Amino acid sequence: MPESSQETERARGSLPFGPAEVTGPSMVPTLHHGDVLLVHWGARVGPGDVIVLRHPFQQDLLVVKRAVERRGAGWWVLGDNAFAGGDSTDYGVVPEELVLGRVRLRYRPLKAGQRSPFAVVRWFLSALRPVLGDRSASRRLRAR
């Protein structure tokens, strides 16, 4: 879940793109705790896209989930980590007006312990990646 802040809210109102930070394990292996996301606020969402939304029960909390499918006037969303919970299996369909944007890029900051040349090269090659929509996400929904 990215952290919500007044700066994030202010930037979202004036710019089409903005940052969000991931906290928690719900989107592992796609996203990890501490990853910084580039969010396209107000972007069109499709099945399989990683999105930022307001939590249906705690409107001040922003959440990152994968949009699985449209159901009525909202989205069924799931985390990539089936064991973490905190998705539509807990709170149902998320209304369209709570969906804020689509995640475009993920930046993974260098950890303090990564000092060896091999670790730095490995980080450099994987630090910045696009976050692509997983069009097979609906298969996981049917498996539940």
- Three-state DSSP string of the chain: CECCCHHHHHHHHHCCEEEEEECCCCCCCCCCCCCEEEEEECCCCCCCCEEEEECCCCCCCEEEEEEEEEECCEEEEECCCCCCCCCHHHHCCEEHHHEEEEEEEEECCCCCCCCCHHHHHHHHHHCEEECCCCCCHHHHHHHC
Q: ∠ CA(102), CA(106), CA(109), 5° rounding?
A: 150
Q: Which two tokens stand for residue 112?
A: 């303090």
Q: What is the pLDDT of residue 122?
A: 85
Q: What is the pLDDT of residue 93?
A: 97
Q: What is the pLDDT of residue 10?
A: 47
Q: Answer yes or no: pTM beyond 0.95.
A: no
How far is it, in rounded angstroms, from Cα 106 to Cα 30? Answer: 9
Residue 104 CB: number of other CB atoms within 10 A? 16
pLDDT along the chain (144 residues), means of 10: 48 79 94 95 96 95 95 94 91 96 94 81 88 64 47
- As a residue count, the chain comes to 144
Q: What is the pLDDT of residue 3?
A: 47
Q: What is the pLDDT of residue 120?
A: 85
Q: What is the pLDDT of residue 130?
A: 92
Q: What is the pLDDT of residue 8?
A: 52
- Three-state DSSP string of 28-68: CCCCCCCCEEEEEECCCCCCCCEEEEECCCCCCCEEEEEEE
User: In sequence order, which residues have a C-beta less than 8 Å from that of residue 71 and are 6 or more positions away?
Assistant: 93
